[in-house]
């Protein structure tokens, strides 16, 4: 659960939020206002089955670390549907652009077996979704090309993710040469490309300054660059 989820919850129709763990940017004040519930996989499924909902949003199938949790919840939803003789909608927001089968394989045999199970579950989960909103064209292409077809009655829509309007002054002074990287310090977010490109940028632009905000697997590389270059913070 991230602060962005809580901010959106305040602007959207009321809904229950059940989460496994919080991200480092978790805002406690917003959490008190939105009252999310922390629960393990099985308890999350139990809560959904006990309460009953018209609509359940689960993590997208490409989010392989969450696929078992999503399958527990969907199984609980479908079991309740049988008892109540109605059908709840299972929906997802998809921005994933990497097929789980293309990710590096774990080294431990049991972990590899678990990964193969998750990959199979991801495709089963995809077939259970009633509506999906794609946030990028690359995500839509991934699910179209690498996942089985959705059911005929399932609906999809592409809504490209856009930044919120800037609330800054219209006449903000220019900040020539200042470069900001804000995000996860990982190859997935392209931070390795920032590290590779910076020497050329620094050599060609004497006024260039690089500020790095974030944390991740390449944190040590960021620290090393900042220690060697006083133009990097």
Please report the pLDDT score of residue 50 as a whole number.
94
Q: Residue 169 above 70 pLDDT?
A: no
With 70 as the cut, is the pLDDT of residue 171 above it?
A: no
Q: Taken in order 223, 227, 229, 230, is the CA torsion positive or negative? A: positive
Section 56-71 average pLDDT: 95
Residue 57 has pLDDT above 80, yes or no: yes
Query: pLDDT tier at 43 (50, 70, 90 boundaries)?
Result: very high
Question: CA 66 → CA 28, 100, 121, 171, distances in Å?
Answer: 23, 12, 10, 44
pLDDT > 80? residue 170? no
Residue 3's pLDDT is 86
Residue 173: pLDDT over 70: no
**Per-residue pLDDT averaged across 46-73, rounded?**
95
d(CA 66, CA 44): 12
186-216: pLDDT as tens digits: 988 889 999 999 999 999 999 999 999 998 8
Residues in a beta bridge with 91: 57, 131
- 3-class secondary structure for the chain? CCHHHHHHHHHCCCCCCEECCCCCCCCHHHHHHHCCEECCHHHHHHHHHHHCCCEEECCCCCCHHHHHHHHHHHHHHHHHHHHHCCCCEEEEEECCCCCHHHCCCCCCHHHHHHHHHHHHHHHHHHHHCCEEEECCHHHHHHHHHHCCCCCCCCEEEECCCCCCCCCCCCCCCCCCCEEEEECCCCCCCCHHHHHHHHHHHHHHCCCCEEEEECCCCCHHHHHHHHHHCCCEC
């Amino acid at each position: 659960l991230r602060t962005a989820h809580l901010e959106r919850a305040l602007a959207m129709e009321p809904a229950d939020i059940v989460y496994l763990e919080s991200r480092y940017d978790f805002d406690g004040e917003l959490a008190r206002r939105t009252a999310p519930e922390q629960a393990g996989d099985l308890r999350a499924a139990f809560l959904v089955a006990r309460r009953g909902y018209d609509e359940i949003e689960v993590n997208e199938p490409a989010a392989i670390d969450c696929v078992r949790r999503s399958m527990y919840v969907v199984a609980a939803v479908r079991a309740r549907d049988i008892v109540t003789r109605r059908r709840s909608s299972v929906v997802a927001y998809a921005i994933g652009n990497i097929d789980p089968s293309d990710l590096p394989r774990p080294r431990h045999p049991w972990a590899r077996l678990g990964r193969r199970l998750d990959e199979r579950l991801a495709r089963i989960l995809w077939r259970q979704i009633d509506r999906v909103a794609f946030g990028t064209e690359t995500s839509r292409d991934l699910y179209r090309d690498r996942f089985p077809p959705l059911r005929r009655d399932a609906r999809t829509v592409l809504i490209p993710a856009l930044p919120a309007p800037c609330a800054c002054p219209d006449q903000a002074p220019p900040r020539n040469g200042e470069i900001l990287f804000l995000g996860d310090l990982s190859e997935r977010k392209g931070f390795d490309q920032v590290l590779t490109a910076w020497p050329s940028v620094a050599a060609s632009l004497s006024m260039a300054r690089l500020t790095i905000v974030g944390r991740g697997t390449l944190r040590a590389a960021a620290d090393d660059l900042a220690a060697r270059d006083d133009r990097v913070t």
